[in-house]
Amino acid sequence: MRNLKIDAERLWGGLMETAAIGATPKGGICRLTLTDLDRQVRDWFRAQAQALGCRVTVDDMGAMFARREGQHDVPPIAMGSHLDTQPTGGKFDGVLGVLAALEALRVLVEAGYETHAPIEVVNWTNEEGARFAPAMIASGVFGGAFERDWAVMRADRAGVRFGDALEAIGYSGTERCGAHPLSAFFELHIEQGPILEAEAKEIGVVTGVQGIRWFEATIIGQDAHTGATPMGRRKNALIGAARLVERIDAIALARPPLAVGTVGLLEVKPNSRNVVPGEVFLTIDLRHPHTAVLDEMEAAVMQSAREVCDPLGLVCTVTKIWDEPPTRFDPGCIAAVRRAAATSGYSSRDMVSGAGHDAVYVARVAPTAMIFVPCRDGISHNEAEFSSKEQCAAGAQVLLQAVLDYDRQLAEHASVARMSEATSGAVSPRE
């Protein structure tokens, strides 16, 4: 296996070449999904895959599958990510996962290495959700989280529907999204956080993605004149909100190191300098890898809202608007990634992703795991996003080895199954 080596220069060359499609003056990429720039990068991807002898198919959500046949007609082992970006996106978020997969495939083709299962490279449509909400919409339909009919009716701010934009760039395929069984899925991605860099680890073995719960709270008090209303007579909704913001911070801090809790949006009414605020609307974002801890945090938020607001004479209502359970990736895929990092000679650590990824939805229908590589200062969704040539190549190497590891396991299981079939056939009482 040692001769199967990712070409770091070639991978980097592809990253820089595609970065020109939608390049921004500050060195990032603005390549919103289903725009003409998206079409250009898709055309580039298709041409590269076809040059490697792959057959490229597109499903009715625009997800692209570049396939190299294996020795057996079993569902493919897929690897990939997304080629769309944020409006001020970087060169690596998503793109690395697709281009590293393409490079891994190229290494297999050049070596003439025959896999047991077919190998596919996937480009998922609209991972970012910047133009069409929700994010990860194609992998979401693929994994059964969203209905295709609903997804294609999503409109951007200009009123253009997803389905029409997909038709317009010529990437609405015939295969029904989701009717494409996979033996496994591996996604390489930049970490988008600071942990690997801080610990000087080369590879993150991603064991899952944390759960997310979103709440909206409205605190009702009473508008009053700031000069004429004595302090003891006030029902100041902003005081309640301020204390609740502190409590939410404390709730997350009390569950280190993985819990996070954030109030990111406040609307104060009437928002006037000489009116005691009578109403505050705020959002609460709680995240943790374990459902039990999320339950605890949610209960603590509800209790805090009462404890804070009751003595102030305020009425607080908290509504849960989104509950995305934690994702646990497949133990077999995780083990393949861990072994791949070790055999490739890279330092690694297990970690849980703080951000959502296509792999979350694919994991609902196929064994899945992810690989992280460090990015400078943990910065992403930013034109300054950066991972080095060596870091990108390390991720691609681990991706390649993980896929081959998984493929060998499939081959072994198949031969064991054939042997036991043969054995049971020999002693079958019916014969």
Binding stretches for Zn ion (CB under 5 A): 93-94
- In Å, how far from its chain's centre is CA 254? 27
Judged by beta carbon, residue 81 or residue 348, the one nearer Zn ion is 81
Q: How far is the CB of 130 from Zn ion (least distance, A)?
A: 11
Q: Tell the smallest beta-carbon distance from residue 247 to Zn ion (Å).
A: 32
Count the alpha carbons within 13 Å of 261 in the hemisphere toward its beta carbon.
23
Per-residue burial over 110-145, b if 16 or more Cβ lie within 10 Å, else e, is eeebebbbbbbbbbbbbbbbbbbeebbbbbbbbbeb
Considering beta carbons, is residue 196 or 314 the nearer one to Zn ion? 196
Residue whose Cβ sits closest to Zn ion = 94
Q: Which is nearer to Zn ion, 145 or 315 (CB)?
A: 145
Q: How far is the CB of 188 from Zn ion (least distance, A)?
A: 11
Closer of 215 and 372 to Zn ion (Cβ): 372
Q: Are 182 and 363 in contact (CB under 8 A)?
A: no
Rounded least distance, CB 256 to Zn ion, Å: 27
Considering all CA atoms of the chain, what is the largest pairwise distance in Å, rounded to the nearest integer? 100
In the complex, the smallest distance separating the C-beta of residue 128 from Zn ion, rounded to whole angstroms, is 7
Other beta carbons within 10 angstroms of residue 76's beta carbon come to 24
Q: Of 94 and 143, which has the nearer Cβ to Zn ion?
A: 94
HSE of 381, CA atoms in CB hemisphere, 13 A: 7
Contact 128, 28 (CB under 8 A): no
| Sign of the dihedral defined by the CA atoms of residues 323, 248, 382, 11, in that order | negative
Report, in Å, the least distance between residue 189 CB and Zn ion: 6
Q: Quick one: 93 or 298, whose CB is closer to Zn ion?
A: 93
**Torsions phi, psi of 409, nearest 5?**
-65, -40
